[in-house]
Amino acid sequence: MDRRTPLTKRVAIYARVSTADKNQTVENQLRDLLAVAQRQEPPTSNRLLVA
């Protein structure tokens, strides 16, 4: 009998802005990256934002 537990997939999303031009913000990047993560299986369930 196999008593191993299934592996849990963990993903980290890192967003940063190194320049103030071109309309880039951390919020814009996070919105786009979270949209991609939500399309994955299983969808993202927990979030931790460190500012």
Q: What are the residue ranges spanned by the domains of the chain? A: 12-39
| Cβ(13)–Cβ(6) below 8 Å | no
Q: Is 17's pLDDT higher than 70?
A: yes
pTM tops 0.85:
no
Using alpha carbons only, give the angle 45, 39, 8 rounded to the nearest 5 degrees.
45
- Which stretches within the chain are classed as H helix? 26-38
For the residues 18-24, what does the mean pLDDT come to?
75
Q: What pLDDT band is residue 44 in, cutting at 50, 70 and 90? A: low
